[in-house]
Structure 1
């Protein structure tokens, strides 16, 4: 197998695992907060073991960097809690598709953080994604579970966009695995006090599923994604990452019997198509 093909296999497995993660919101009959705590705990321990084994330096260069990493951990916790909440009150498809709008938020944040110009194409992209969202959302009635799920999924996308921007601006000089490790540990510590207000009557199967979510769908997925970048271009990686909702929706159909409504599929095609084209144009421009 050639290095490039090996990289393609790695990134598709990584994206497949990321897509599978959303289904745990349906597999686990636990609150989103408990699910995320379990996910970050197992992920943090696994990534720490990998960094220790590889003798990677994890010490931060300054107090400011450490403070930013703490903030990123808080944002990561909010991102995943809102993501799983969106899926639990609606469907896997709605949660994944509305979360996947995050590149649009990134586009509008970049001019503020990096003094980059907002282009006409960016406005068209935002408009197209908005049209896709209106198809995913059945009505503006917030009593509707799908509407609620779309709202929280969009909040999840927004927080992920903030996470991406802050990563790039403040801690981009650190290895990706080190950043992910700090974020998961900080998210775990931030969420811990809230566990005292949650029902923690977990069954053995719950621990097993949380371990799979944290070790395979989080830690291993990140390792494979980062390793793949050694052999393939960033542009190809970004486009492949757009398949996360597709894999997730297919898994939801096969494992949960969730069949998205026709308008959800149409809206999803518009959103994912727009994001893919925008990603291709962005990397061509760079």
Structure 2
């Protein structure tokens, strides 16, 4: 894969991630069912990808297993809360609320790893907070959209914690196997709670679940890993930051879910802060 192909791959990754909320809206099932089905299909697809590359997942050691278990729990919480946000508040609210995760990473890295948080990073946190205040249609917790935003921010927080857990895991498990193990753990954790619901799924819902697990989870992960062989992680991160833009566009085209001007302004502030942070770090490199 050359640099041009790597750039195209990471843009495709952002588009596929942006479709996640669309499938969450389409599937007639609860958040636990969607999370378990997504993880199961993704783990199976990633196993096939690894096998085709001529590899076989190694059994993780005791220390790696404990980190993988923690990461799997956090990933399960992240997905479940995100799909609740989609069902309650709509795709745009869910995606923009989730986009707050870089601000949580900034705060948590300083707290958990005792790393100094610079003034510019505090500025990003402030901008993201202001953006979320604009995205919130009201501060009345009887409002469905406000409740949805709360779930979305919880999804962003759990994803930030998951990202930091992965920071520990990458040194213990090969990158090509990491997502496979984590998706498998999510499936094992969540399936017992919703196994009976699968019998009530329509054939079309099975198709949506398959596409969510394979095309919006396993495939973009494989593309992202491949693109990072040519691109810097921060360059890829700048492109992935466009995920909410794609999600809002798809929601408008497919479901006529149009965010308000205030929500768009808040979303622009959140995404702008993330992109600015990425550009500033890239320039520092």
Fold shared per TM-score above 0.5: yes
Displacement after TM superposition at 1:166 (Å): 1.0
Instruction: Write the deviation string for residues 239-263 of structure 1: whole angstroms up to 9, x where unpaired.
Output: 0010101011111111111111111
The alignment's TM-score, normalised by the length of structure 2, stands at 0.95
The ranges of structure 1 where at least 4 consecutive aligned residues each deviate by more than 3 angstroms after the TM superposition are 170-173, 196-200, 283-286
Distance 1:227 1:206, change over 3 A: same
Distance 1:91 1:114, change over 3 A: same
Contact 1:177 1:222 in 2 (8 A): no
Q: Are 1:220 and 2:216 an aligned pair?
A: no
**What SS does the aligned partner of 1:23 have?**
helix
Displacement after TM superposition at 1:60 (Å): 4.3
Contact 2:235 2:282 in 1 (8 A): no
Distance 1:208 1:199, change over 3 A: closer
Q: Are 1:231 and 2:217 an aligned pair?
A: no
Residue 39 of structure 1 aligns with which residue? Answer: 38
Contact 2:251 2:257 in 1 (8 A): yes
Question: Separation in 2 of the partners of 1:263 and 1:177?
Answer: 41
Instruction: Write the deviation string for residues 98-124 of structure 1: whole angstroms up to 9, x where unpaired.
Output: 101101110011123333101111211
Structure 1: gaps spanning 5 or more residues: none
Question: Separation in 1 of the partners of 2:112 and 2:88?
Answer: 34
The alignment's TM-score, normalised by the length of structure 1, stands at 0.95
Question: Separation in 2 of the partners of 1:49 and 1:261?
Answer: 43
Contact 1:15 1:225 in 2 (8 A): no
Question: Separation in 2 of the partners of 1:233 and 1:78?
Answer: 28
Displacement after TM superposition at 1:16 (Å): 0.3
Question: Separation in 2 of the partners of 1:111 and 1:259?
Answer: 37
Q: Are 1:51 and 2:50 an aligned pair?
A: yes
Aligned length: 285
Contact 1:65 1:171 in 2 (8 A): no
Displacement after TM superposition at 1:174 (Å): 2.8
**1:13-24 map, 5 Å:** 13-24=12-23
Question: Separation in 2 of the partners of 1:283 and 1:221?
Answer: 23
**1:124-203 map, 5 Å:** 124-196=123-195, 198=197, 200-203=199-202
CA RMSD of aligned residues (A): 1.6
Question: Separation in 2 of the partners of 1:171 and 1:113?
Answer: 17
